[in-house]
Homo-oligomer: A and B are copies of this chain.
């Protein structure tokens, strides 16, 4: 969960280089499944180029729950830490270049890093960020309407709307593709009343 912070925390860079040889670089087309729902996650995923989504199958309906882009790392945390079946699938949206680091090396890396001064603060910052991210997503569902969540996406993470097919965004916002279309057309009409 650390490599995507190597720019933010320069003291991690040597470790990145050291573990580079254990990472498997793969170049894959769109819609390649990197981790299947129900399987156990055995590796950490780092996005060099392209774009990825996490999704789950709910009674035959595909629901996207998160997007990842260049320089971001991910895994199914719960599956990775607890060796339990992953609750979601991880698959590419665009043709992508991915680095995979097997779990054994992640564990070795963590053990090495635990001696690094200041590492505790780094790991706390990383985990706190993730926790706050999910909390904000969750609060947004309690507080905002789907239209407001779409506006938030537009304002705060427009790259998602630009790069990701709309039907993935719809389920991520908690609505159907039909309703997301309605939201967009409503916003477009509103803007034309200038």
Least Cβ–Cβ distance between A166 and chain B, in angstroms: 16
Contacts of A142 in B (CB 8 A): 63-65, 171-172, 174
Please give the count of copies of this chain that the complex contains: 2
**Is A15 on the interface with B (CB-CB < 8 A)?**
no
Residue-wise, chain A 58-83 has the 8 Å CB interface mask toward B (1 for contact) of 10000111000000000001100100
Interface of A is mostly: helix
Per-residue CB contact flags for chain A residues 137-166 toward chain B (1 = under 8 Å, else 0) read 111011100000000000000000000000
A138 CA to B87 CA in the complex, in Å? 13
Least Cβ–Cβ distance between A177 and chain B, in angstroms: 14
B-side contacts of A174, CB under 8 Å: 141-142
